[in-house]
A and B are shown apart, each in its own frame.
Chain A
């Protein structure tokens, strides 16, 4: 099974940034143990990276692999939506059946 390559954009060390990081870690640990890589990018430190990936809002999670590439905007507090965005729901259903 391919690894999930995830990139999380945040802007500064704000409560919202920390919430997003924590939410993402929790979801990945429970749903994708050992199957993920997270790269956290602070837009204030690397604006060019945000420029090239056209990031407008933060936090934004970019699912780079597996395809299709998808952007999930928000602090990732809506767990169901995050799972949907990462195609994990489908994954679990397939495994269950």
Chain B
């Protein structure tokens, strides 16, 4: 006799972006799931989206039962997402059960009762449109309407059991008083505790951070921990599935030019097409120039480049590029380049991510550049920033295109910024640009710190910037400690230094 592994409960794909990934397929099918969160955490929007997506993406009809907000108000509120619930109600795709209190009527209690009428109405709604998805929005509002919380608890238990028999998948929303209290007031978690999702809306370092956590799915698997999400006018709730991002990108052997010929040589022939390159350096070391040359290389190869600028305006970028002989405007007219200037401060990182993904999706670039990544760090917490970088990196890698991020370090010479510790493990290639103070003179040094899957030049080379761009020269000789910011010289004496100067390799000899 063979031992069968316990079969996992079937899931119902919700259609909510990102959710089905972290929920390993969706909500437990034909069960009730409690969606708990504080006021304004996005419970109702998410619940309605569950219904909307059902109709739009899966042709599954829905039934919404509202306990707090009048149906008219609810439908009005989500119209900004482009959700036309009214016509879905008219078209018998969505049924509405209005369980809000009736303000015009006095209510009193005289004897035993149950909520069979509510269940009968919900069943009627489900039957009317053939609903597969049901939401009970803000059931907490039921408690002040009726006097005995015990009866309500017992009855809600009966209702969820009844819904299960009808074969519908239900999402029950419930308000929490604060982030640390129980899942819901009135001890609600007791009757739909099989599956619990918590939405949080915390203030972290003066930034709102929305997260979703699947607390439990009885008899079914899910990803654990909090996942950031955003509520956006176009897509509603979008969850950013970080750990759910699979590392199954294919690896490309195709090389592309970085735009700097000498640098390509240092990297044994260029960058891999599906790699992420990080250019890190202090202000004025030529990071934006590297970006311009990288974009130029794309244009010259007839590839499309998408440039996200976080610090400079469109005009500044175009003018600077022109001074190095790169015509951004022409490239834009040719449809080979798109520049998106969006200051990090205008929105949260989750929204930036969503917008950038959309831009990438719209433009279908071969190369993406972000100048600078570190600018985004300014407006977020470390955690959010890390999630942002991971999500963006995986998006780019998934498309098998090249990504170049710049990072501004806080020290002029040497040093390492926090940003690098976040990004460096994710990037495939790291290029450091550093000021080198040598014999009382500020010079610039470049090194390829790491490059995955290929041999690369390990020298720290001097580079210069002129009217035609960036040029990599010979390695620094007789000096070490450049990256730490405190170079020391190994010349024995002045004569040795002079001799080494004359014996040095001629510039640009690579």
Q: Most chain-A Cβ atoms within 10 A of its Cβ — which of B99, B102, B109? A: B109
- A23 nearest CB across to chain B (Å): 8
Q: Given the complex of chains A and B, what is the CA–CA distance between A50 and B102 in angstroms?
A: 13
- A59 nearest CB across to chain B (Å): 6
Kindly supply a per-residue 1/0 record for chain B positions 70-112, scoring 1 wherever the CB is within 8 Å of any chain A CB and 0 otherwise. 0000000000000000000000000001111010111111111
Range of interface residues on chain A? Answer: 20 to 34
Taking the complex as formed, is A71 at the interface, i.e. its CB lies under 8 A from any CB of chain B? yes
Instruction: Find out whether the CB atom of A56 lies under 8 angstroms from the CB atom of B111.
Output: no
Instruction: Find out whether the CB atom of A71 lies under 8 angstroms from the CB atom of B118.
Output: no
Chain B residues with Cβ under 8 A from A60's Cβ? 113, 117
Number of contacting residues on B, CB 8 A?
27
Taking the complex as formed, is B418 at the interface, i.e. its CB lies under 8 A from any CB of chain A? no
Instruction: Find out whether the CB atom of B120 lies under 8 angstroms from the CB atom of A74.
Output: no
Taking the complex as formed, is A70 at the interface, i.e. its CB lies under 8 A from any CB of chain B? yes
Q: Given the complex of chains A and B, what is the CA–CA distance between A93 and B116 in angstroms?
A: 37
Taking the complex as formed, is B146 at the interface, i.e. its CB lies under 8 A from any CB of chain A? yes
Instruction: Find out whether the CB atom of A58 lies under 8 angstroms from the CB atom of B116.
Output: yes
Contact of A47 among B104, B112, B121 (CB under 8 A): B121
Chain B residues with Cβ under 8 A from A81's Cβ? 108-111
- B71 nearest CB across to chain A (Å): 11
Taking the complex as formed, is B332 at the interface, i.e. its CB lies under 8 A from any CB of chain A? no
Q: Given the complex of chains A and B, what is the CA–CA distance between A48 and B112 in angstroms?
A: 24
Known interface pairs A47-B121, A50-B120; A73-B114 also in contact (CB < 8 Å): no
- A22 nearest CB across to chain B (Å): 12
Q: Which residue of A lies closest to B119 (CB)?
A: A11
- B184 nearest CB across to chain A (Å): 19
Q: Which residue of B lies closest to A51 (CB)?
A: B121
Taking the complex as formed, is A66 at the interface, i.e. its CB lies under 8 A from any CB of chain B? no
Kindly supply a per-residue 1/0 record for chain B positions 115-144, scoring 1 wherever the CB is within 8 Å of any chain A CB and 0 otherwise. 111101101100000000000000000100
Instruction: Find out whether the CB atom of A78 lies under 8 angstroms from the CB atom of B110.
Output: yes
Known interface pairs A43-B121, A56-B142, A57-B146; A73-B116 also in contact (CB < 8 Å): no
Interface residues of A in 10-64 (CB under 8 A from B): 11-12, 16, 20, 23, 43-44, 47-48, 50-51, 54-60
- A83 nearest CB across to chain B (Å): 9
20 inter-chain pairs at a CB distance below 8 angstroms, sorted by A residue, are A11-B120, A16-B114, A43-B116, A50-B120, A54-B99, A55-B117, A56-B145, A58-B115, A58-B117, A59-B111, A59-B113, A60-B113, A68-B105, A71-B106, A72-B110, A73-B108, A74-B109, A74-B112, A74-B113, A78-B111
B residues at A contact (CB < 8 Å): 97-100, 102, 104-118, 120-121, 123-124, 142, 145-146
Apart from the given pairs A72-B107, A77-B111, 20 other A-B contacts in the complex at a CB distance below 8 Å: A12-B116, A47-B121, A47-B123, A47-B124, A48-B124, A50-B121, A54-B98, A55-B117, A55-B118, A56-B146, A57-B115, A59-B111, A69-B106, A70-B106, A71-B108, A72-B108, A72-B109, A75-B111, A82-B110, A85-B108
A residues at B contact (CB < 8 Å): 9, 11-12, 16, 20, 23, 43-44, 47-48, 50-51, 54-60, 68-78, 81-82, 84-85
